[in-house]
Amino acid sequence: MGETDASCPDISLLPQLAKILGVTVDELLTGKAEIVPVVTALPEEQQKDMSDTILRIMVESANGDTVKVNLPISLIQAVLESGMELPQVDGSDMLKSIDISKILEIAAKGVVGNLVEVDSAHGDKVRIFVE
């Protein structure tokens, strides 16, 4: 029937279509691509100085709130070394279980990309990546 709107496509085909196109079903339906940096361990000669490395935290709550934090890793290291804690950025307990110092250790070894991805049962999402 096609363009007459007399029928709807079979939604059970969406996962297969998304796989063929190399996107998620959400990306297929919304047209918005989610940019997720691939995790890579850079060789020492390609690693950035820690003062040029950024820790990005993105929290999307189930009710539509979005919080994005972009901090230089050198600043986070200074805060943690002083004994202070990083403030809670999302108003939930999702970040409390994530050990930021371990993420910094990984980043110091030249690992960059999407390091942590948490989707709660309540629909909240947390992404932590290093650039």
Residue 8 has, within 13 A of its CA and on its CB side, a CA count of 4
State the pTM of this model.
0.61
Average of per-residue pLDDT values in the chain: 79
- At 26-43, the pLDDT tens digits run 777 887 766 655 777 778
pLDDT at 120: 82
List, as one string, the DSSP characters of 47-87.
PPPGGG-EEEEEEE-TTS-EEEEEEEHHHHHHHHHTT--PP
Instruction: Report the alpha-carbon distance of residue 107 to residue 83 in Å, rounded.
Output: 20
Average pLDDT value for residue range 111-127: 85
- Of the candidates 37, 59, 67, which has an alpha carbon nearest to the alpha carbon of residue 123? 59
